[in-house]
Structure 1
């Protein structure tokens, strides 16, 4: 039999190995006595086992994050980046980047230096404007008691602005029967002073300038000219009265005045006095001007001394066609146009109006010429519509009253919309193209070998060469700015013409249609295959290879 001491020791070891069950009632006296009697000889005792933590405490999250996101050392970074060799690769890539950047910069500078990009000439408002010349008396309706004259013009300022108009030249505002006229009072049949003040205010809001026309008014009460065509000296009191009127209108916001070269105001002394008044109201952004209407072939000289540094006249308005009582033939129109195209321009800024009378089939051609010549175009009232002949038409801005059949009305409306489309196209092109605003002008003369008549080249044609040569030739000119060229072709003859490729070998061969009298040419074209129809005008924008637009 085993000894009691040995049995007790053996049971103690077994109890230590066995898993313990936690007693819910820790305050039971039997629990304490049983523990004391059974384990007094073990290391730590039963009480030490009970006080030891059952779970190992976890480390705080901050400590784990610190261990997990510990920054890499320099050696570890170099190892992660590929070692010392990666630094060489990076430095070589940086050098390659700067080398390519400098190469592109040098190439761009070389291209800019080689490209003939001219500097655009700064233009004043009157150099960029399309002038619209009208008489408010034309809008008077004698059959009704409603408003007319200036009020009607004011109501249609939006329409005038949509045409691209930059300035209005108002004619017939003053009494011609009174000598000298009272320039601060307008004709009561046309309107009142508050109405014209309202017109000036509303037009300035839309960016439209107003120019008052003093042409053919006896401003100084001098009467008719003498036999030599000269006026006597202007009395000082009359000159002061006119200068007072100028100040009055300039204070109202008027942008300038126009006179004829046959008026007494067109003299050195009078224009110098006017210049002093106008300069008082002129600013860099709002310059006031003097317009001279040229009535003859040559503008009379002012005989100004060389010591005068100021310009007395800003704009000279010239007519393309001579003022004849009869309708000019195609040959006369061609001769007049060719004379103006070959005449060199002077120092004074030119402004062009149609002037004389031409047949209806040449009106659109003259409009194209007017809008593409160097200088500021002046459009007369109704020229943007070019109504057809043999149809009674009354234009009242809001509607057209046509006497005739429904077919005539449809044809008239179609002609009206076609004319308006042509006018809008020319106006927009002139406003946005530097070549048409301030580009150089080059007249392109034609000879008999430079034209191939489509009628004479046809195998079925029976026309003689003499008849083909007698037809008015094609007139052409270039408006250029840099590498961009606008070619204007005018065929005033009654036969179509194809261009000989050798007529202008220096010109680019291709381009795009900008406008034509029929408004039926669109897209790109080639000069080698182009045929100009009778009584047709064409505007083509040419491009050189590799040029900019």
Structure 2
């Protein structure tokens, strides 16, 4: 049974007297009273005072905050490393004739992209009758390397990977003298050939031209003229570079040419001249001297090259990793010879690139080719997936060089040493992460004390050439470096 309650008359009367709010007329009457008018004005004034206070505070913060430094103008060759595939016939044979070629380079475009470099130097690839100017065609591709169509395909493949291709146009690369003889550069016919060749290849789409042996030109005006050609073919989004190369180790000759050349970049064997096992003090002095001589010019760094050989044959094995860290953390563009990233060694002749542990180490299917070092660990395949390998270190350094502003264009400060075997310097840019580089060239453990007003008490390990180094923070008051260890530390900007 459901009970139904019938409301009493008194209850209905109470419900009728419940509050229903003010009517519109009553609300307007109350709102117009002096008390409410004063309240509204007070609240309005407080609102605008608060708003103006916040605006003033924001302005003060903006004015007092440190301003970001304007980024320096940089072309693509300032933003990372350059990888040399020279000579081309030693990199990859694609057609089983025992000679590396253009198609072979294109086969490994994914690998080249994984190195995080900005550009590739390829060649020379033109037809060159040794020591015969008349038999040299600077605009024709030597058939053993491929065809002009293959070169175009290579340019397109590199472009898709974000890589620039620089063509080496050193004229007499098969002969005894790179420029035929001392009189050839002054020959009107030769100069016309060179100008025609530069125009031809720049129009074909190369990102720049490299010329080796420029110390034999004895004519700075020629380089200036060729530099004008690369500039004429440049645009804001497609800058062309002129690279001058020399095999000299003599610092005076290098510094002299550095001050005279019109080329964008000058490569040399400067660091090779320090010997296979320099001390930290010797390296310190050499770097200071070079940077001072360079002045406003952008430096280049390399250990090895087409005229002097591979890094692993020029320095002690224990210093290989150390040198790679040096090249990628100094101000300037690092140049790497093919195979230096895996520790390729020179033997009796130019070594072929070592890709895997198959016959001829994957260079060619032609049998047989000349022998070489049988060490199967010196291959791309063996080192690609090994975190502690030289190749892995190279990739990590190259990646950091291309993305960290302090390494891209930061200030460079050499710090005082407490040990003669150690070379220490700081890279910093504006409010970005700072990098401290400590390189122990000695074959023994070294403990150093690094003290400077720009340094904090501790810094964090970014990268070490010693695979046993633990991650974390290290004290700069007593920093211990293992034998031949290179240590890259970072710490934040503090206003």
Give the structure-2-normalised TM-score.
0.76
Q: Give the Cα separation in 2 of the matches to 1:404 and 1:350.
A: 35
Relative to structure 1, the CA distance from residue 354 to residue 404 in structure 2 (aligned partners, 3 Å threshold; closer, same or farther) is: closer
- Matching residue within 473, 483, 489 for 2:421: 473
Q: Give the Cα separation in 2 of the matches to 1:95 and 1:85.
A: 16
CA contact (8 A) 1:387 1:416 kept: no
For residue 533 of structure 1, what is the aligned residue in structure 2? Answer: 482
CA contact (8 A) 2:319 2:484 kept: yes
For residue 295 of structure 2, what is the aligned residue in structure 1? Answer: 346
- Matching residue within 189, 193, 203 for 1:241: 193
Relative to structure 1, the CA distance from residue 216 to residue 490 in structure 2 (aligned partners, 3 Å threshold; closer, same or farther) is: farther
Post-superposition CA distance 1:343-397 (Å, at most 9, x none): 413332211111360011100000000001111111111122236999xx97444
Partner secondary structure for residue 349 of structure 1: coil
For residue 206 of structure 1, what is the aligned residue in structure 2? Answer: 161
Relative to structure 1, the CA distance from residue 222 to residue 118 in structure 2 (aligned partners, 3 Å threshold; closer, same or farther) is: closer
- Matching residue within 325, 328, 335 for 1:371: 328
Query: What are structure 2's unaligned runs of at least 5 residues?
Result: 1-19, 305-310, 362-372
Report matched runs for 1:47-58 at 5 Å: none
> 1:539: Cα distance to partner?
1.0
CA contact (8 A) 1:333 1:358 kept: no
Q: Give the Cα separation in 2 of the matches to 1:147 and 1:80.
A: 101
Q: Give the Cα separation in 2 of the matches to 1:146 and 1:221.
A: 24
CA contact (8 A) 1:268 1:304 kept: no
Partner secondary structure for residue 259 of structure 1: strand
Q: Give the Cα separation in 2 of the matches to 1:488 and 1:351.
A: 18
Tell whether 2:132 aligns with 1:182: no
Post-superposition CA distance 1:104-147 (Å, at most 9, x none): 213312432xx364221121112113100113211344993599
Relative to structure 1, the CA distance from residue 89 to residue 384 in structure 2 (aligned partners, 3 Å threshold; closer, same or farther) is: farther
Q: Give the Cα separation in 2 of the matches to 1:270 and 1:409.
A: 40
Moved more, 530-539 or 158-167: 158-167
For this pair of structures, how many residues does the alignment match?
A: 438
CA contact (8 A) 1:292 1:316 kept: yes
Moved more, 198-207 or 80-89: 80-89
Post-superposition CA distance 1:422-470 (Å, at most 9, x none): 2222122212211111111111231xxx35xxxxxxxxxxxxxxxxxxx
> 1:263: Cα distance to partner?
5.3
Partner secondary structure for residue 540 of structure 1: strand
Report matched runs for 1:121-520 at 5 Å: 121-135=72-86, 136-141=88-93, 144=96, 148-174=100-126, 175=128, 177-180=130-133, 181-215=136-170, 217=172, 223-225=180-182, 231=183, 234-262=186-214, 265=217, 267-296=219-248, 297=251, 298-299=253-254, 301=256, 312-322=262-272, 328-331=275-278, 335-336=282-283, 338-343=285-290, 344=292, 345-355=294-304, 357-386=314-343, 395-397=353-355, 401=361, 403=374, 418-446=389-417, 450-451=418-419, 473-483=421-431, 484-500=433-449, 503-504=451-452, 506-519=454-467, 520=469
Post-superposition CA distance 1:399-418 (Å, at most 9, x none): 67595799x99997776752
For residue 40 of structure 2, what is the aligned residue in structure 1? Answer: 87
> 1:420: Cα distance to partner?
2.7
Q: Give the Cα separation in 2 of the matches to 1:499 and 1:303.
A: 35
Q: Give the Cα separation in 1 of the matches to 2:198 and 2:84.
A: 20
Give the structure, 1 or 2, with the largest relative contact order (CA under 8 Å, sep 6 or more). Answer: 2
Relative to structure 1, the CA distance from residue 513 to residue 505 in structure 2 (aligned partners, 3 Å threshold; closer, same or farther) is: same
Relative to structure 1, the CA distance from residue 133 to residue 251 in structure 2 (aligned partners, 3 Å threshold; closer, same or farther) is: same
CA contact (8 A) 2:338 2:353 kept: no
Q: Give the Cα separation in 2 of the matches to 1:489 and 1:533.
A: 11
CA contact (8 A) 2:436 2:489 kept: yes
CA contact (8 A) 1:260 1:266 kept: no
Post-superposition CA distance 1:302-361 (Å, at most 9, x none): 7999xxxxx83111123352259xxx4424686245312344133322111113600111
CA contact (8 A) 1:261 1:299 kept: no
Partner secondary structure for residue 424 of structure 2: strand
CA contact (8 A) 2:138 2:171 kept: no
Query: What are structure 1's unaligned runs of at least 5 residues?
Result: 1-66, 226-230, 306-310, 452-471
Relative to structure 1, the CA distance from residue 313 to residue 411 in structure 2 (aligned partners, 3 Å threshold; closer, same or farther) is: closer
Partner secondary structure for residue 140 of structure 2: coil
For residue 543 of structure 1, what is the aligned residue in structure 2? Answer: 492
CA contact (8 A) 2:254 2:270 kept: no
Q: Which runs of 4+ in 1 moved over 4 A?
A: 67-74, 79-82, 140-143, 145-148, 218-222, 263-266, 300-305, 387-390, 393-396, 398-406, 408-417
RMSD, aligned CA: 3.9
CA contact (8 A) 1:268 1:303 kept: no
Q: Give the Cα separation in 2 of the matches to 1:491 and 1:140.
A: 36
Relative to structure 1, the CA distance from residue 492 to residue 77 in structure 2 (aligned partners, 3 Å threshold; closer, same or farther) is: farther
In our comparison, the structure showing a higher alpha carbon Rg is: 1
CA contact (8 A) 2:170 2:178 kept: no
Partner secondary structure for residue 430 of structure 1: helix
